[in-house]
């Protein structure tokens, strides 16, 4: 009997409403562990809402959404960086590392800051960063605890070519090496989208 | 349990650090409470009962707390940091408890300024009155941190916070004034302690639902 891959994310008849307005309607999909789901669609189609539900920040109004991993084993890159602007990069990552109970936190933080090119500005407040540097820090925060499921909402936005290439390399390594699972919404046609094992096209509800 | 309180301590420390850098809540609270007591000092007729001054002290404390609560979640909302905390904490109530403790620290500093000012302008506070201030402050911060999180997520947050908070603060004012002027302050202190316990448990249990869409 062939082995059946465990579903990392399984959605059935998903609907999300804010008041009377339906943002998502009747969305169903399955993403196997180790797979990459590319979510596409026009502005206002509900991509961000869907990703927030997968990340555990929102609950569906109707339907079911099963995420196999613990909610703290999800790394989420949102439109906003989800960090404190008046803390430094090190202070932010130290706080989130404590909350995620990251082993050898200092080493992990140092490694990520080096990799994403923020080491030299690690003691500067995030409010002094450019938009691209803040996005790099957001990626460090999302990957800090080495999550099994990474949810990325337009992760290339504000990144320069070098930053985008770093991100693509990091995600490709996660998929190839550790069998990481990705859910990705992007308008960027190149790079990481080539990794997609399945696609979900959303339309305005 | 140790890990939970470790999270709470880290979150409260973060709020204190942010306030030390920004200095946009504590100075405002301290100035507001002193300014309010000065205004009351000149507004209260000389013939007014001494008990009336205690009522004014509580008006000053509640509105000073409201000022602090209005800013409490501002740094968390600026770049979506609260979502980051919601994702990272093992028990989301730790976010509420950390915020309540940080807010309590700010309110305590404002009261350290306010109580000597009150003694200077009106009358010194006795032990039960100070105990009433301490107990009421715990209740203010417990329930205030919850409702200010609700207000921060709502449209018209400046209006929502007083609408949600002030009705819930009325029992605290009753208990606080009672502990200051009553011949039996123990009853009012016990009432404040009960309020603190009930509303701390309710806020602790409800916070998860406040931060999830």
Chain A within 8 Å of B209 (Cβ-Cβ)?
A: no
Q: How far is B117 from chain A (nearest CA, A)?
A: 33
Q: Where are the domains of chain B?
A: 2-210
Chain B within 8 Å of A86 (Cβ-Cβ)?
A: yes
Q: How far is B18 from chain A (nearest CA, A)?
A: 7
Token digits of residue A139: 């990626």
Q: Count of CB atoms within 10 A of residue B85's CB?
A: 24
Q: What pLDDT is attached to residue A52?
A: 94
Average pLDDT, chain A: 89
pLDDT one-digit tens code per residue, A44-85:
889 999 999 999 999 999 999 999 998 899 999 999 999 999
For A10: left if phi > 0, alpha if psi spans -120 to 50, otherwise beta; the answer is beta
Whether residue B84 and residue A86 make contact (CB cut-off 8 A), yes or no, is no
Chain A within 8 Å of B83 (Cβ-Cβ)?
A: yes
Q: What pLDDT is attached to residue A3?
A: 42
Chain B residue at shortest CA distance from A77: B84
d(CA B145, CA B103): 8
Chain B within 8 Å of A100 (Cβ-Cβ)?
A: yes
DSSP letter string over A56-125?
TSS--SEEEEEESS-GGGEEEE-SS--S-TTSBHHHHHHHHHHHHT-TTHHHHHHHHHHHTT-GGGTTSB
Q: How far is A37 from chain B (nearest CA, A)?
A: 21
pLDDT at B212 over 90: no
d(CA B26, CA B14): 15
Whether residue B81 and residue A83 make contact (CB cut-off 8 A), yes or no, is yes
H or E element that contains A28? strand A21-32
Chain A within 8 Å of B75 (Cβ-Cβ)?
A: yes
d(CA A51, CA A77): 10
pLDDT band at B64 (very low <50, low <70, confident <90, very high): very high
Q: What pLDDT is attached to residue A141?
A: 96
Nearest to A72 among B21, B79, B88 (CB): B88
Whether residue A83 and residue B3 make contact (CB cut-off 8 A), yes or no, is no
Q: What pLDDT is attached to residue A2?
A: 42
CB A45 within 8 A of CB B201: no
pLDDT at B155 over 80: no
The pLDDT of A1-12, averaged and rounded, is 71
| ipTM of this predicted structure | 0.90
Nearest to B80 among A81, A95, A145 (CB): A81
Lowest mean pLDDT among A52-66, A67-81, B39-53, B122-136: B39-53
pLDDT at A178 over 80: no
Using an 8 Å CB-CB cutoff, list chain A residues near B86: 56-57
Scan for tokens 């084993």, then name that residue: A73
- Picking from A55, A56, A76, A95 by the largest number of B CB atoms within 10 A of its own CB, the best residue to mutate is A95
Nearest to A56 among B10, B21, B87 (CB): B87
Token digits of residue B46: 């000389």
Chain B residue at shortest CA distance from A58: B213
Say whether A16 sits in a helix, a strand or coil. strand
Whether residue A72 and residue B21 make contact (CB cut-off 8 A), yes or no, is no
Whether residue A82 and residue B3 make contact (CB cut-off 8 A), yes or no, is no
Q: How far is CA B40 from CA A79, B35, B66, B68, B117, in A?
A: 48, 9, 18, 20, 12
CB A180 within 8 A of CB A174: yes
Chain A residue at shortest CA distance from B20: A86
Note the pTM of the prediction, 2 decimals.
0.90
Whether residue A95 and residue B10 make contact (CB cut-off 8 A), yes or no, is yes
For A38: left if phi > 0, alpha if psi spans -120 to 50, otherwise beta; the answer is beta
DSSP collapsed to 3 states, chain B: CHHHHHHHHHHHHHHHHHHHHHCCCHHHHHHHHHHHHHHHHHHCCCCCCHHHHHHHHHHHHHHHHHHHHHHHCHHHHHCCHHHHHHHHCCCCHHHHHHHHHHHHHHHHHHHHHHHHHHHHHCCCCCHHHHHHHHHHHHHHHHHHHHHHHHHHCCCCHHHHHHHHHHHHHHHHHHHHHHHHHCCCHHHHHHHHHHHHHHHHHHHHHHHHHHCCC
Whether residue A57 and residue B80 make contact (CB cut-off 8 A), yes or no, is no
Using an 8 Å CB-CB cutoff, list chain A residues near B6: 98
Q: At what angle do helices A105-115 and A89-100 cross, to 10 degrees?
A: 130
């Amino acid at each position: 009997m062939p082995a059946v891959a465990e579903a990392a994310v399984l959605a059935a008849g998903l609907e999300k409403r804010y008041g009377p307005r339906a943002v998502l309607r009747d969305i169903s999909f399955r993403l196997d562990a180790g797979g990459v789901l590319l979510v596409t669609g026009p502005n206002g189609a509900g991509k961000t809402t869907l990703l927030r539900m997968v990340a555990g920040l929102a609950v569906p109004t109707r339907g079911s959404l099963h995420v196999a991993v613990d909610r703290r084993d999800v790394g989420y890159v949102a439109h906003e960086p989800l960090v404190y602007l008046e803390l430094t990069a090190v202070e932010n990552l130290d706080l989130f590392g404590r909350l995620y109970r990251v082993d050898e936190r200092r080493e992990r933080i140092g490694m990520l800051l080096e990799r994403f090119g923020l080491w030299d500005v690690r003691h500067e407040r995030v409010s002094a960063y450019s938009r691209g540097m803040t996005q790099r820090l957001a990626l460090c925060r999302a990957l800090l605890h080495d999550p099994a499921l990474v949810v990325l909402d337009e992760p290339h936005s504000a990144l320069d070519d070098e930053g985008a290439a770093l991100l693509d390399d990091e995600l490709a390594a996660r998929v190839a090496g550790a069998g990481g699972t990705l859910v990705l919404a992007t308008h960027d046609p190149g790079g990481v989208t080539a990794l997609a094992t399945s696609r979900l096209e959303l339309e305005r509800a | 349990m140790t890990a939970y309180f470790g999270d709470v301590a880290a979150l409260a420390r973060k709020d204190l650090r942010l306030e030390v850098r920004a200095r946009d809540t504590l100075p405002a609270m301290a100035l507001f409470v002193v300014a309010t007591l000065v205004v009351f000092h000149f507004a209260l007729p000389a013939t007014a009962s001494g008990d009336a001054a205690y009522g004014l002290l509580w008006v000053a404390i509640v509105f000073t707390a409201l000022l602090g609560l209005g800013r409490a979640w501002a740094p968390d909302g600026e770049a979506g940091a609260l979502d980051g905390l919601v994702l990272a904490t093992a028990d989301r109530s730790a976010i509420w408890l950390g915020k309540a403790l940080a807010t309590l620290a700010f309110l305590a500093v404002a009261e350290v300024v306010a109580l000597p000012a009150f003694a200077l302008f009106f009358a010194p506070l006795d032990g039960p009155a100070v105990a009433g201030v301490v107990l009421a402050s715990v209740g203010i911060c417990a329930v205030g941190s919850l409702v200010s999180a609700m207000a921060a997520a709502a449209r018209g947050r400046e209006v929502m916070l007083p609408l949600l908070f002030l009705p819930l603060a009325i029992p605290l004012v009753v208990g606080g004034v009672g502990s200051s002027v009553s011949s039996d302050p123990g009853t009012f202190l016990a009432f404040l302690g009960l309020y603190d316990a009930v509303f701390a448990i309710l806020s602790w249990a409800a916070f998860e639902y406040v931060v999830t869409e």
